Amino acid sequence: MEKWVNLKYEGYERYQISNFGSVIGMKGRMKSRANARGYFIIGLRKPNDRKQRMFSIHRLVAEHLIDNPYGKNYVNHIDGDKSNNTVDNLEWVTQSENQIHAYTTNLLVKTPEQVERMKYYAKKKRRPIRVVNKKLGIDKTFESIKDASEHIECNEKTLRNTLKGRNKSRLGYEVFYLDES
């Protein structure tokens, strides 16, 4: 049996969402459409407002009909079908749980072209850096910021900011891009 609840967002109380993922407004049932990522969305307006705001159907269903006692931030389609927005097919998860589910259900399958593109950009983003600590007598070269940050036990973002000149040095280390030193 279809169950309807009013939206609890300020200005959108005149719309209702059902446990089947349907939305009704003042003029009746509304049509949703799939966005570029395959999730069904719907445009809703506040009274006397010409601007339309887009909402994901699965989030509307979860936020209005599924308890979230642990404060998890992501909504997972249990069967992996983004068009199945029924309350029985949705659950609150953490980002990690969502990624694990996508991996174990083969939702992350990439085409060979996508894999090659990912490898290309991963390689392109790598830029060798040199780390120097005169006090400790260290002068090492690393393939990437990630490798260097792991070695000197420092956050990657901190090293990146040091390379950009926002930080003077980190723990006595000076860092340079190899092609600039």
**Is 135 found in the same domain as 93?**
no
For the stretch 89-101, pLDDT in tens is 999 999 989 988 9
- In this prediction, residue 91 carries a pLDDT of 97
- In this prediction, residue 170 carries a pLDDT of 60
Across 114-119, average pLDDT: 75
Asked if residue 116 is part of any domain, the answer here is: no
**Is 83 found in the same domain as 135?**
no
Q: What is the CATH number of the domain that holds 16?
A: 3.90.75.20
Would you say residue 15 has pLDDT above 70? yes
- 168 or 86, greater pLDDT: 86
Question: Which tokens belong to 40?
Answer: 């069904």
CA distance 61 to 76: 12
CA distance 77 to 93: 10
Asked if residue 14 is part of any domain, the answer here is: yes
Closest CA to 101 of 90, 86, 117: 90
CA distance 177 to 128: 6
Asked if residue 100 is part of any domain, the answer here is: yes
- In this prediction, residue 58 carries a pLDDT of 98
Asked if residue 83 is part of any domain, the answer here is: yes
Would you say residue 52 has pLDDT above 80? yes
Enclosing domain of residue 68:
4-104
